[in-house]
Amino acid sequence: MTLPHNALILVADGRKALFLRNQGDGRQIDLRTTSHQEREDRKDSDIKTDASGQSAAPAGTGLGGGTMGEPDFHQQEEDRFARELADKVNAMALAGKFDALVVIAPARTMGELRPLWHKEVGARLVGEHVREMTDRPVSDIEALLVGEAAPPS
């Protein structure tokens, strides 16, 4: 992949985000971390407020009610984190803070981000990689971007 000088690279998952810039040019990628965010992964007891609910039996069926499934609070927090990232990247695009963007994220996070991109982000998006790379060294991210075989995630 040819990555322009000063391109923004977002490496994210539902808990962590790295913002990198290419200080190199189209021939040689040189990524530098510009900022990072990390969401605290709270314990279930810190997130939950009540026990699972009960559902009423359908009228006239003679069936008993059942327990309603408990929402996945950790997933809800990961999705919220992705929406906040999309808002941040949208604001950066509207402010002209980048001309080219590459996003590297696992499928679930990418699925949250894609529909939230402003058209200005879409116009600057030059690449996407559906991979978990937030805990990988920058050299592995560079290898992924140049198309070399990066170690499996």
- CATH number of the domain that 90 lies in? 3.30.420.60
**Position 63 in a domain:** no
The answer to whether residue 139 sits within a structural domain is yes
Q: Is the pLDDT of residue 25 over 90?
A: no
3-state DSSP assignment of residue 12: strand
Query: Residues of 14-46 as b/e, b for ≥16 C-beta within 10 angstroms?
Result: bbebbbbbbebeeeebebeeeeeeeeeeeeeee
Q: What is the pTM of this model?
A: 0.79
Asked whether residue 47 is domain-assigned, the answer is: no
How many structural domains compose the chain?
1
The domain of 94 spans 1-39+72-153
96 Cβ neighbours under 8 A, 6+ residues apart: none
Of how many residues is the chain composed?
153
Domain assignment present for 19: yes
pLDDT at 108 over 60: yes
Question: Minimal CA–CA distance to 127: which of 149, 151, 152, 98?
Answer: 98
Report yes or no on 52 lying in a domain.
no
pLDDT of 90 higher than 70: yes
